[in-house]
Structure 1
């Protein structure tokens, strides 16, 4: 079962905040503004919206397959963190 799925990725990419960040806390992916992440949760950051938009081929429009690929990559990051 995936810890990060396409809905997590979609929430991050669709956030109106350019500094939105995906954080994995207690089994949930949460999108927060970067300035709201305290030192205790900084190690739980998975990716920022800026990080993902730099990786997006072809601009702002992603296919479902590309979103799934991003979700798989982010899921691997969460698992590497020991979730």
Structure 2
């Protein structure tokens, strides 16, 4: 009736990190592993693209800062020039 833990992918064995990740976490490869860093970056980019395709995108901080600067600039222009 119910699935056994061996068949369930959500068990601890299914979530166990790969050899490279495990070695990087324990410090066997040093403080910076360029291969692991590249894999992590690729994973983050893939996840962000997937989120954007689902419509879960966010406005970048620099765009918000630029919009705020524009609003403040226009406000100052109206107050002191016009």
If the length of structure 1 is used for normalisation, what is the TM-score? 0.25
**Considering only CA atoms, is the larger Rg found in Structure 1 or Structure 2?**
2
Choose between structure 1 and 2: higher helix proportion: 2
Greater RCO (CA < 8 Å, at least 6 residues apart): 1
Choose between structure 1 and 2: higher strand proportion: 1
